[in-house]
Amino acid sequence: MFISSAFAQSAPAAAAGGDLQSTLMSMLPLVLMFVVLYFVMIRPQMKKQKEHKAMIDALAKGDEVVTVGGMLGKVSKMGDSHIGLEVSNGVELQVQRSAVVQVLPKGSIK
């Protein structure tokens, strides 16, 4: 009574070359989304990782640094994967090089 009857329609005849074009057009949004994702997320993250690696490779004795945990200290010993971090007079901690987040200007820590 309230619902009208639905009738199936016959599909129009498709051209032989039209299938490839419609397939490419349907994949276009997916390709565009990947390109945007690359330039918005992936590329900046790779650039940030490269800058962090360069900063860690450039560490030297006497540099004042901040660690991931927020500790401030002066680099006193250098190793391949660890550094000695002097956080106070006579107190030295061993931390991984990758735990260093930022190199501070000289004289920041008193």
**Cβ contact 95:67 at 8 Å:** yes
Helix, strand, coil percentages for the chain (3-state, nearest 5): 40, 25, 35
11 part of a folded domain = no
**CATH number of domain containing 90:** 2.30.30
34-68 pLDDT per residue, tens: 999 999 999 999 999 999 999 999 999 999 999 99
Tell me which residue range forms the domain holding 73: 60-104
Q: What is the pTM of this model?
A: 0.69
The domain tally of the chain equals 2
Question: What's 45's DSSP letter?
Answer: H
